[in-house]
C-alpha cells in the first residue's frame, strides 16, 4: 500500500509538472504570435522571367501581364507573355530615365521615373506615350484603388494621386504597432488592401488604405531561386494581382522565375 501511495504521489507530481510545462509553452507560443499575422505561401506555378529584367513594376490588366524595368540605359515598359516569359512588346526609355513602378489605369499604363520628377502615361493598347505628369521627389512603386493612384517613394509614406492630373490628394503614414514601416517599394491593390514590397525584406506588408496600419505580412523567404541566393541586390520586387481570377504573381529583380502563389490563410488560391 505504501509503495502504491508513493507511486501515486510521483504520478501526481509529474502531472503537475507537465501541466506547468504546457502552460509555459502555451504562454510562449502566444507571445510569439503576438502582433499582426504572418501568412505563409505555397507556390502554385512558376513561369520563366527575363533574368535581365530589373523589375520595378508588375501589373495585370485584362489578362495581360505588364512589367516596368529600371536601370539607366536598361529601363523599359513591357507587355509579357506569362507562360513563356517572352517579351511581346517593349518600349525603351531614354537613357537618363530610371524606370520605376507601373500600374494599369483604365485604358492607360502609368510609369514612374525614379528621380526625374515625372511620371509617364501610355496608351495601353499601343504602348505609345500620351502624356506626362509631375512627381515631387522620388518615384518608387505605383498601384491604384479604382479611384486614386497610390505611390510609394522609399519612405514610410504612401501618396494618393488624382489620376486626371497626377496631383497629390493626401498622404498615408504606414506603421506597424505605431512604428513607421520604411522603404515601401513595389505596390499592388489586393482586395481592398495595399500590398507592398519592402526593399531588402523577404516579406510583403498588407496595409489598410484607410489609416496606413499594417494588417499583416506575407512571408516570401522560401521563394528565392537558387540562382539568386547569393546576390542580395536581386531582391524580391513585383506583385501583380488579377482581380477577375484571384491569381497572384510575384517576382524579383533579375530573377529567372515569376511565381504564382497561393496564400490559403487569406483565401488566395
Query: What's the rounded Cα separation, in Å, for the pair 190 and 242?
Result: 9
Q: Does 58 bind Ca ion (CB under 5 A)?
A: yes
Q: Does 77 bind Ca ion (CB under 5 A)?
A: no
Site string for Ca ion, 233-252 (x = CB under 5 A): ------x-------------
Q: How many helices (H) and strands (E) does the chain have?
A: 1, 23
Rounded alpha-carbon distances, angstroms, from residue 188 to 94, 95, 185, 196: 26, 27, 10, 7
List the beta bridge partners of residue 170.
Answer: 160
Nearer to Ca ion, 9 or 248 (CB): 248
Grid coordinates in use for 3? 509503495
Helix (H/G/I), strand (E/B), else coil: 266:
helix
Nearer to Ca ion, 62 or 226 (CB): 62
Binding residues for Ca ion, rule CB under 5 A, total 4
Grid coordinates in use for 90? 517593349
Q: Does 176 bind Ca ion (CB under 5 A)?
A: no
Other C-beta atoms within 10 Å of 67: how many? Answer: 26
Query: Least distance from C-beta 186 to Ca ion, angstroms?
Result: 5
**Interface stretch with Ca ion, choices 18-26, 41-49, 188-196, 255-263 (CB under 5 A):** 188-196
Query: What's the rounded Cα separation, in Å, for the pair 43 and 269?
Result: 10
Within its chain, how far is the Cα of 106 from the centroid? 21
Nearer to Ca ion, 141 or 212 (CB): 141
List the beta bridge partners of residue 196.
Answer: 187, 205
Query: Least distance from C-beta 134 to Ca ion, angstroms?
Result: 22
Q: Does 188 bind Ca ion (CB under 5 A)?
A: yes
Nearer to Ca ion, 91 or 250 (CB): 250
Nearer to Ca ion, 68 or 216 (CB): 68
Residues that bind Ca ion (CB under 5 A): 58-59, 188, 239
Amino acid at each position: 500500500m505504501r509503495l502504491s501511495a508513493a507511486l501515486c504521489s510521483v504520478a501526481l507530481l509529474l502531472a503537475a509538472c507537465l501541466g506547468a510545462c504546457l502552460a509555459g509553452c502555451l504562454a510562449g507560443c502566444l507571445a510569439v504570435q503576438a502582433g499582426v499575422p504572418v501568412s505563409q505561401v505555397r507556390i502554385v506555378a512558376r513561369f520563366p522571367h527575363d533574368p535581365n529584367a530589373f523589375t520595378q513594376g508588375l501589373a495585370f490588366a485584362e489578362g495581360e501581364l505588364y512589367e516596368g524595368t529600371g536601370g539607366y540605359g536598361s529601363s523599359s515598359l513591357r507587355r509579357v507573355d506569362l507562360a513563356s516569359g517572352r517579351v511581346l512588346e517593349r518600349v525603351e526609355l531614354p537613357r537618363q530615365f530610371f524606370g520605376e513602378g507601373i500600374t494599369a489605369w483604365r485604358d492607360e499604363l502609368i510609369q514612374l521615373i525614379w528621380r526625374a520628377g515625372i511620371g509617364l502615361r501610355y496608351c495601353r493598347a499601343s504602348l505609345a506615350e500620351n502624356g506626362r505628369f509631375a512627381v515631387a521627389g522620388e518615384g518608387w512603386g505605383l498601384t491604384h484603388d479604382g479611384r486614386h493612384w497610390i505611390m510609394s517613394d522609399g519612405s514610410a509614406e504612401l501618396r494618393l494621386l488624382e489620376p486626371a492630373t497626377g496631383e497629390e490628394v493626401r498622404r498615408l503614414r504606414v506603421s506597424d504597432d505605431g512604428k513607421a514601416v520604411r522603404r515601401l517599394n513595389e505596390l499592388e491593390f489586393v482586395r481592398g488592401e495595399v500590398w507592398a514590397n519592402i526593399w531588402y525584406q523577404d516579406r510583403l506588408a498588407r496595409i489598410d488604405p484607410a489609416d496606413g496600419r499594417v494588417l499583416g505580412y506575407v512571408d516570401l523567404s522560401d521563394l528565392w531561386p537558387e540562382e539568386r541566393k547569393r546576390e542580395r541586390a536581386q531582391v524580391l520586387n513585383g506583385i501583380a494581382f488579377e482581380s477577375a481570377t484571384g491569381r497572384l504573381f510575384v517576382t524579383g529583380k533579375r530573377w529567372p522565375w515569376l511565381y504564382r502563389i497561393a496564400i490559403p490563410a487569406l483565401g488566395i488560391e
